[in-house]
Structure formats: structure tokens, C-alpha cells
């Protein structure tokens, strides 16, 4: 199992933050590009190499997040129209992914075919949004981080609306 930590800034126009390991060493850097419509994130590793991008677009007035890895793999996360809860579909070619948990408390897990791949837990009473990501299968580390960043962005956007 691997643990990663995210601490987002309190006052921000765009997101720029590192993701740390247990030794407080940066593993990823998340950089949001400023855009008037939608959002676009570049996520690089500690060496500065691009690992994946996340782009928020719209379909039928609902947000759609597209995660594109440098290998060419693509994941789409589509939000569903619901009242009082978060609901979305994750589309990926090779296997099934889904997220379950308490989205209002930012405590949820990523699953594939019944197996928990990763979980994210928000730490309360901290300066800025602070999260702990536990990744149970390290072969899915990039995938887990990408989906959890997109889901967090989706939840924050829906909560603001």
C-alpha cells in the first residue's frame, strides 16, 4: 500500500499543488491552465515529465471530464443529473471503474470489479483542503490519482453550484 498527500491552497484562481509521499517528497505536480470555459490540468511526475491531463468539457450542459494518459489511454467521467447527491459514470476500455462513498465529506473509494484500488479521505480542521490518498494496488497508482483528482474537482464544482 502506498499513501499520498495533497494540500490545496485556500485562496486560488487556478490550482497548482504538489502531491507528496509519506516522506514528504513530491511525487506529482498538478497544474491547472487558466481558461475562460472548462478547466485543463497537466499532471507531471517529480522529474517534470507529463503523466496525464484532465480536461473538463460539457455535454448536454453537464460536465464531462476526460483523462488522457501519455500512453494514449483515455477515461471519461460523465456527471448525471441528480438532486442532493453526486452521481457519475466512469468510462474506460479495459475494465470497469466506479467510485463509492460519502462525497459530501470527501471520503470515497475507487473500485474495479469489486476490488478497492484506492481511497481518499479529507482531513478536517486544516488550512486549505488536505487529503490522504491510500493506494492498495500500486500498479494502478497513476490511474487512481487521475480519477481521484477528477472526482474531487467534480464534487467541488457541483458543491459550488
Q: Give residue 86's pLDDT.
A: 60
Encode pLDDT of 9-26 as tens digits. Answer: 554 555 788 999 999 999
Q: Which three cell numbers stand for residue 26?
A: 513530491
Q: Give residue 11's pLDDT.
A: 45
| DSSP codes, the chain | -EEEEEE--SS-SS-EEEEE-TTS-EEEEEEEEP-SSSEEEEEEETTS-EEEEEEEEEETTEEEEEEEETTS-EEEEEE---SSS--EEEE-SSS--EEEEETTTTEEEEEETTEEEEEEEEESSSSS-EEEEEES-GGGHHHHHHHHHHHHHHHHHHHH-
Q: Give residue 89's pLDDT.
A: 78
Q: Give residue 96's pLDDT.
A: 84
The whole model's pTM is what? 0.83
Encode pLDDT of 28-38 as tens digits. Answer: 999 988 666 66
Per-residue pLDDT tens digits of the chain, which is 161 residues long: 999 998 865 545 557 889 999 999 999 999 988 666 668 999 999 999 999 999 988 766 778 899 999 999 999 988 766 665 566 778 888 788 888 887 666 788 888 888 999 998 888 765 667 889 999 989 999 999 998 888 878 777 666 65
Taking residue 48's Cβ as centre, other Cβ atoms within 10 Å add up to 7
Say how many residues make up the chain. Answer: 161
Q: Give residue 124's pLDDT.
A: 72
Q: Give residue 100's pLDDT.
A: 84
Which domain CATH number covers 114? 2.40.160.200
Range of the domain at 76: 2-160
Give the number of domains in the chain. 1
Distances in whole angstroms, Cα of residue 21 to Cα of each of 6, 8, 132: 9, 15, 10
Amino acid at each position: 500500500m502506498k499513501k499520498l498527500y495533497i494540500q490545496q491552497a485556500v485562496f486560488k484562481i487556478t490550482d497548482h499543488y504538489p502531491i507528496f509521499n509519506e516522506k514528504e517528497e513530491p511525487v506529482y505536480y498538478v497544474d491547472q491552465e487558466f481558461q475562460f470555459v472548462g478547466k485543463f490540468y497537466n499532471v507531471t511526475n517529480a522529474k517534470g515529465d507529463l503523466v496525464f491531463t484532465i480536461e473538463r468539457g460539457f455535454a448536454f450542459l453537464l460536465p464531462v471530464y476526460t483523462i488522457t494518459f501519455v500512453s494514449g489511454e483515455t477515461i471519461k467521467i460523465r456527471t448525471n443529473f441528480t438532486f442532493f447527491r453526486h452521481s457519475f459514470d466512469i468510462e474506460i476500455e479495459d475494465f470497469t471503474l466506479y467510485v463509492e462513498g460519502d462525497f459530501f465529506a470527501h471520503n470515497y473509494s475507487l473500485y474495479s470489479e469489486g476490488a478497492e484500488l484506492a481511497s481518499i479521505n479529507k482531513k478536517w480542521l486544516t488550512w486549505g483542503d488536505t487529503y490522504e490518498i491510500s493506494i492498495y494496488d500500486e500498479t494502478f497508482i497513476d490511474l487512481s490519482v487521475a480519477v481521484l483528482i477528477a472526482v474531487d474537482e467534480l464534487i467541488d464544482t457541483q458543491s459550488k453550484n
